[in-house]
Amino acid sequence: MRKKIIRKRNNTFRKSQKKSSFFSGKIVQYLLLSFLVLVLLAVGYHYRNGLAYYFSFKSNKAVLEEREAKRISDVRNFQVLEKHAGQSIGIDVSEYQGQISWSYVDTIENKYPLHFVFIRATVGKDRLDRQFKRNWLGAKKNKMIRGAYHYYRPNENSLEQAELFISMVKLEKGDLPPVLDIEKLPKNQSIANLKIGLRRWLKAVEAHYGVKPIIYSGERYYDDFLKEEFSDYLFWIANYNFYREQIESDWLFWQFTEKASIPGIKGNVDVNIYNGDLQQLQFITVE
């Protein structure tokens, strides 16, 4: 009988021991988990500003970066304009600027008057810029010297492109010469054939308007493909790099930025400097 009693007491002791160790283990786990949560909360609170900026929650970070880029661009724009004080300043626009309130388009940086505007008229052999007619009339009403340009597609027939431009653009006295905008390389023809096509467009347009067109392109494209063989034409060159601070003597126009803010226009706008003053600009207009 004693042995049985002893066995029962041992089983009870073991059960209570297991129960006690189970609860004590749970308590330890709970305490450890609580401690870790508190540590994480403390670390998160300590670095809350850094975490908020990093995750920015990303949209805020993108906004800050965009604002900083715009601020830097505005500083450069102002510096370039200061270095070209007295020279004529203008813009160029297309359908990408939407509907422009032309009566408000007057200055850049609230200081430098805008004298001229180049307006995209046609693209390739079959497309009219959707805002051309409205911009063409609006610029005239706003008493700005206006010019029209054609965006050239290297893989389309050059004479058909010239015909489209001629059919849509009616130049009047006081307008700027027509402009050929060439920026792309051909995909299905040689550079030599591209140059032949460009010559055909230029000759056809000159024959119609009785004035030599201007060629627009980026500085590298100009140096690599156009400078030598088209030296009998005047050029409008685009270069937005910070190292470029002055217009070259052989450039007629310099497009120095694509990120300017102009009254009456939503979003960014290209700004250009003419290599001369307003009186000299008027001298090259159509008679």
Q: pLDDT class for 88, splitting at 50, 70, 90? A: very high
Angle between helices 59-83 and 48-55 (to 10 degrees): 70
Backbone φ/ψ region at 122: left (φ over 0), alpha (ψ -120 to 50), beta: beta
Q: Is 168 exposed, middle or buried (0-12, 13-18, 19+ CB in 10 A)?
A: middle
The pLDDT value recorded for residue 71 is 60
Mean pLDDT lowest among 14-18, 96-100, 235-239, 268-272:
14-18
Model pTM score: 0.77
Give the chain's length: 287
Which residue would you say has higher pLDDT here, 73 or 2? 73
Mean pLDDT of the 65-77 span? 67
DSSP 103: G
Kindly indicate the confidence band of residue 225, based on its pLDDT and cuts at 50, 70 and 90: very high
Any residues with CB less than 8 A from the CB of 68 and at least 6 apart, and which?
A: none
pLDDT tens, position by position, 229-250 = 999 999 999 999 988 989 999 9
* Whether the predicted pLDDT of 275 surpasses 80: yes
Give the confidence band of 52 by pLDDT, cuts at 50, 70, 90: low
* 114 bridge partner residues: 89
Statement: residue 17 has pLDDT above 60: no
Asked if residues 112 and 83 have their Cβ atoms less than 8 Å apart, the reply is no
- Per-residue tokens: 214: 């201007």
- State the Cα–Cα distance between residues 238 and 256, nearest whole angstrom: 6
Q: What are the domain boundaries of the chain?
A: 2-46, 60-283
Q: Which fold has domain 60-283?
A: TIM Barrel (3.20.20)
How large is the average pLDDT for residues 144-170?
A: 98
Burial class (CB in 10 A: 0-12, 13-18, 19+), 138: buried
The one-character DSSP state at 147 is E
Question: Measured between alpha carbons, how far is 200 from 205 in angstroms, rounded to an integer?
Answer: 9
The three-class DSSP label of residue 149 is strand
pLDDT digits (tens, 9 = 90+) for 89-123: 999 999 999 999 999 999 998 889 999 999 999 99
Query: Percent of the chain beyond pLDDT 90?
Result: 69
3 state SS of 46: helix
Mean pLDDT of the chain: 87
Give the pLDDT confidence score for residue 58 in this predicted structure: 46
Alpha carbons 151 and 182: distance in angstroms, whole number:
7
pLDDT at 37: 79
Q: Which amino acid is at 186?
A: P
d(CA 26, CA 164) in angstroms, rounded, equals 84
Per-residue pLDDT, 120? 98
